[in-house]
């Protein structure tokens, strides 16, 4: 146990403790950032299908919800970058990371996590470029997610 939180639980404090613990654990691993190499899968299809018990209709619903929500999240990130609002960049990166992680879009989720870290550190010099990487990887992930949604069991 690396952290402590008292009752009543403050969700923001809990989130910070959990994120801090995850960051400590990830430092022990070498993380290879995904690239736009077509041979690298943008979605861990096996993990995703296992998580949703192979329910492709449910996957279609999840993808539809993501398609509606992610443009606003990208816009929030763009606006935060333009305002040099580190906390806003952190929030936008965190939101994108979670949504993409839920869809097993590992590459895009890693990039969004890097955007979140940039916001947390206050170093936004490369945030615009990182957001472009997120967007490119999201497009690759959506192609895969659409194909998975349409495949028969």
pLDDT at 63 over 90: yes
Domains observed in the chain: 44-150 (1.20.120.160)
- The predicted model gives 100-110 an average pLDDT of 94
pTM > 0.75: no
pLDDT of residue 12: 74
DSSP 110-151: HHHHHHHHHHHHT--TTHHHHHHHHHHHHHHHHHHHHHHHHS
Report residue 17's pLDDT band, with 50, 70 and 90 as the boundaries.
confident
Asked if 120 contacts 86 with a C-beta cutoff of 8 angstroms, the reply is yes
Q: How many Cα neighbours within 13 Å face the side chain of 150?
A: 6
For residue 8, whether the previous peptide bond is cis, meaning omega lies within 30 degrees of 0, is yes
Tokens of 152: 């028969």
Axis-axis angle for helices 56-83, 127-150 (nearest 10): 170
d(CA 13, CA 20): 11
pLDDT at 94 over 60: yes
* Signed CA dihedral, 81, 84, 89, 91: sign only: negative
């Amino acid at each position: 146990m690396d952290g402590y939180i008292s009752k009543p639980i403050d969700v923001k404090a809990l989130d910070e403790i959990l994120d801090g613990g995850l960051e400590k654990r990830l430092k022990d691993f070498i993380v290879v950032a995904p690239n736009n190499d077509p041979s690298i899968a943008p979605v861990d299809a096996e993990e995703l299908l296992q998580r949703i018990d192979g329910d492709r209709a449910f996957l279609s619903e999840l993808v539809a919800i993501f398609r509606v929500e992610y443009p606003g999240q990208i816009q929030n990130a763009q606006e935060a970058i333009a305002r040099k609002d580190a906390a806003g960049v952190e929030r936008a990166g965190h939101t994108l990371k979670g949504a993409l992680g839920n869809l097993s879009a590992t590459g895009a989720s890693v990039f969004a996590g890097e955007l979140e870290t940039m916001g947390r550190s206050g170093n936004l010099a490369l945030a615009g470029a990182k957001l472009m990487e997120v967007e490119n990887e999201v497009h690759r992930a959506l192609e895969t997610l659409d194909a998975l949604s349409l495949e028969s069991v």
